[in-house]
Amino acid sequence: MKICVLGSGTWGSAIANLLAYRGYEVFCYSHKESEASQLNLTHRHKNLPDALLSEAITFSSDLKASLQGAKTIVFATPSSYIRETARLVKPFFENQLIVDLAKGIEEGTLLTTSEIIEDELGNKDEVVALTGPSHAEEVSLFHPTCIVAASKNEANAKKVQEIFHCSFFRVYTNNDRKGCELCGAFKNIIAVACGISDGLGYGDNAKAALITRGIHELGKLGKAMGCNPTTFSSLAGVGDLIVTCTSAHSRNHQAGYYIGEGYSIDEAIRKVGMVVEGVNALPAAKELCDKYRIDMPIVYGVYQIIEGKETARNIASNLLSRAKKEEFLE
């Protein structure tokens, strides 16, 4: 079976490598001809220095050729390019199984990335979000990983489970796609907060507080949006939050760290050298907080820092000096 992976970044390349290991015919699309040629020549990705990518992967800048004959299409582009990519795919869409690896919320529409794809392709409730604690750097080396295939369509979720599941990559199914995708978008923001805390020189106590109170904030929003509460204590929820907030591989944590050290937002993103989804997600995250009238002080605090409205140290002080309350009081 042929599978097309759209996007040759770190996550797209790591997933393409996994699928090649599983024995599928894999085409990985890059919008840059030079990048595709280099990857075909070396089978090395600049952001995956320890991994040798399978020679069975065909990297291509020809979208039509990449999609032709594919039974499954995997979206692995940054969230900000999902709609544009879906529009490019639409002329070639023939009800293939669609898998979404992106994590984010679209500003204005407040759609998740899977919903954006469905909005463009017209396949409502069919897309499967593959999400959870899964650093590309580790998956590319076949390190043990557990992840979630989330979809309203149970049959599609099980198909994705069957395609991706192997000895080192365990896939669970989940029917709460909205909850899983909210976790995927918001955990990046909390990771930026944890990075800022580390950059300021605060310790593990502060980071633990941000992680646990962050999942509490996210759970409140999820409840208001009709999500399954258990999702937020799952792999897609607390699992992804832990790995993104604590790992050296996390670009969101890295960006936050540089901001905490005093670099500007632009300087921090430039130093990371990759897309920082936690920064991109902030405008839509604030819109969701306002729409559902949910108090999310950590998310709002990061928003104020990124927008230049307040300093990181002042936000830390403000979070700690708020009115005293019961731990689980909403």
The active-site residue, picked from 103, 159, 187, 286, is 187
Amino acid residing at 173: T
Q: State which amino acid sits at residue 220.
A: K
Enumerate the H helices of the chain as residue ranges: 10-21, 33-42, 63-67, 82-89, 113-121, 136-139, 154-164, 177-199, 204-224, 240-246, 251-261, 265-272, 277-280, 282-292, 297-306, 312-320
Which letter does DSSP use for residue 146 in this model?
E
What is the rounded (10 degree) CA torsion for 167, 24, 130, 147? 0
Which residues pair with residue 74 across a beta bridge?
Answer: 5, 99
For the question of residue 187 being annotated catalytic, the response is yes
Backbone angles phi, psi at 249, to 5 degrees: -75, -15
Whether 16 contacts 28, CB under 8 Å? yes
Distances (CA, A) of 59 to 26, 35, 65, 86, 216: 9, 9, 11, 19, 41
- Phi and psi of 49, rounded to 5°? -65, -25
Tally of residues, the chain: 330
DSSP string, 195-237: HHHHHTT--HHHHHHHHHHHHHHHHHHHHHTT--GGGGGSIII
Distance of CA 145 to the CA centre of its chain: 15
Kindly state the tokens that stand for 198.
Answer: 């580390």
Q: Which sequence positions are flagged as catalytic?
A: 187
